[in-house]
Chains A and B, each alone.
Chain A
Amino acid sequence: MEKKNKAKSGAQKSEKIDFESALKKLEAIASKLEEGELSLDESIRQFETGMQLAKFCRERLDEAEQKIEILQKGAAGKTARKRVEIDQDTGEIVDDDLQGSLL
């Protein structure tokens, strides 16, 4: 039983932390530091962790690279992605060969 738990926690550790829990952790660190109950060493440690979490969150926010793509039927019925431009004002897809459907 204990072994099982251990294996599980090990797996969780190796799992990449996601944006939401990073943000929650940062929030928890801010609150904990504000309480001022931690030792200096622990405060500095938490502070460093907080900085890392903030950096991680910002990186995640900037990770996506704006692009609009549309699926199209290619040759031999293969589905392919095609990058399209968007009219910034209307949101309209600027493409003179828009297929109505994947089918």
Chain B
Amino acid sequence: MDALSQQPRIYTVSEITRNIKKTLEGKPDFNSIWIIGEISNLTFHSSGHIYFTLKDDDAVIAAVFFRYANKNITFKLKEGMSIRVFGNITVFEKRGSYQINVITAKPEGVGDLQRRIEELKLRLMREGIFDPRHKKKLPILPRRVGIVTSPTGAAVQDIIKVALRRFPNIEILIAPAVVQGDDAAVSIVRGIEELNKPEYGIDCIIAGRGGGSFEDLMPFNEEAVVRAFYSSRLPIVSAVGHQIDHPLSDDAADLAAPTPSAAAEYAVPVKKDFMDEIDYLLIRTNNAIASLIRDLSARIAAIVERRIFRDPYEIVSRREIGLSDLEKRIRACLREAIPTGRNRLLVVPDITILIKNIINNKTYRYGMALNALDQLSPLSVLKRGYSIAMDERDAVLKSVAGTAVGRLIKLIMHDGLLRCAVNSIEKGKHHGEKK
């Protein structure tokens, strides 16, 4: 009963086809896939689209290669050709068929090579051959550049032309090499190894060739060549002309150039730039020194403007006044001191030494010296109110007994002289003692 009430689902052709389409096209396994096969039933449509069947021994699959996609391929599709196509599986509802919608295609022969290169690349990468930290810096000023390439090709000419233009007195040593065909790999390796010998005095190497077909560039994908680039003791530039796929030598070299000319530009500096830079630095240095000297000159001029330099005699005469004043005072002091020089009453140190010292003193010490002199001079003693008594013969009186009533004595004060007559003599008494 239940079976009867459950009507089977009936699809229209469109419905089931849509389902198939949805299922197939939605499946990741059928998207962005590579298929290898042989071309048959090849049709170039006037619209630019290409239709063919891919087949192997046991199966076929329809393929459509639309114009917008096939315009980019570099080889010509041919009946019976073995190719690899990349694309998505799509369903064409109107015909009830599925097909591979080709996005790009490659001839299978080269595909093999490319796979080998990819494998080699992976292996060398794991080994660290392409590691950036192995990369050497190119010398900033190479004296001699080595070139490994064909001596007759366009590459060597381009490199030489560019190098001479940039650095007219550069030295170049060419290791001639075969750069295509079966002998190329060994030849290139030999050239790189030879130029690495210290005896040639080379600073850096350019190794490469001009652009060519994929097969032409193959030597620079050879393991031995790639390793030679890596092992080069000298910095080495890979100079293989290419547009899209770069050779593995580029990855192993210290620097990769897209063309031989570019390699020469990387390796050889422009001499004039250096000359200009040195000139510029010299000008800066000269200007800096000139401005320093100008500043100093201005400062010196300002100092010279000061009075001491404008009128040095003025300073000297000022000093002279000070000196003569000093001299006067010393003389005065001597006048006072010498007559009493033998006198025990006055404790005067050897005044000549004192004076010598004073005179020997530097000018700025005059004041201090004068002060010291003042302290020691008998003058200052007298200033304090003492006086010196002397008899008529200028002998200092040390006792009342040294004179007599009616005799004349001299009293020397700090500012002059008193001539006195002795009225009386009171022995043993001081004037202050009043009984």
Contact = CB atoms under 8 A, between A and B. Distances in A.
A57 B274 contact: yes
Interface in A17-56: 19-20, 23, 26-27, 29-31, 33-34, 36, 40, 43-44, 47, 50-51, 54
Contact of B274 (A61, A71, A81): A61
B194 A79 contact: yes
Contacts of A66: 164, 168-171
Contact of A71 (B158, B159, B173, B278): B173
Given A50-B285, A100-B178, A101-B177, A61 B141 contact: yes
A35 to B, nearest CB: 8
A36 B291 contact: yes
Contacts of B287: 34
B190 A103 contact: yes
Contacts of A102: 175-177, 187, 190-191, 194
Given A86-B160, A102-B191, A60 B296 contact: no
Nearest to A63: B143
Interface in A52-79: 54, 57-58, 60-72, 79
A77 to B, nearest CB: 12
A67 B171 contact: yes
Given A70-B151, A71-B175, A91-B160, A33 B292 contact: yes
Contacts of A20: 140-141
Given A61-B141, A93-B151, A102-B176, A36 B292 contact: yes
Given A19-B141, A93-B156, A101 B176 contact: yes
B117 interface: no
A44 B286 CA distance: 11
B65 to A, nearest CB: 42
Contact of A34 (B141, B164, B187, B288): B288
A92 interface: yes
Interface string B195-208: 10000100000000
Contact of B171 (A33, A43, A57, A65): A65
B160 A40 contact: no
A54 B282 contact: yes
Given A61-B271, A71-B173, A101-B178, A26 B281 contact: yes
B174 interface: yes
B277 interface: yes
B169 to A, nearest CB: 4
Nearest to A28: B281
B292 A68 contact: no
A7 interface: no
B275 A69 contact: no
Contacts of A103: 178, 183, 186-187, 190
Contacts of A93: 151-152, 156-157, 160, 174
Contact of A58 (B167, B278, B292): B278
Interface string B38-52: 000000000000000
A92 B200 CA distance: 22
A64 to B, nearest CB: 4
Given A61-B275, A71-B194, A98 B281 contact: no
Contact of B173 (A40, A81, A98): A81
Contacts of B395: none
Given A23-B281, A69-B173, 11 more contacts: A23-B274, A27-B281, A43-B288, A50-B285, A54-B281, A57-B278, A64-B170, A98-B176, A100-B150, A103-B183, A103-B190
Interface of B: 140-141, 143-144, 150-152, 156-161, 164, 167-178, 183, 186-187, 190-191, 194-195, 200, 271, 274-275, 277-278, 281-282, 284-285, 287-289, 291-292, 295-296
24 contacts: A19-B140, A23-B274, A23-B278, A26-B278, A29-B285, A33-B285, A33-B288, A34-B287, A36-B292, A47-B285, A47-B289, A54-B281, A54-B285, A61-B275, A64-B167, A64-B169, A66-B164, A66-B170, A71-B174, A86-B160, A98-B176, A99-B151, A102-B190, A102-B194
Interface of A: 19-20, 23, 26-27, 29-31, 33-34, 36, 40, 43-44, 47, 50-51, 54, 57-58, 60-72, 79, 81, 86, 88, 90-93, 98-103
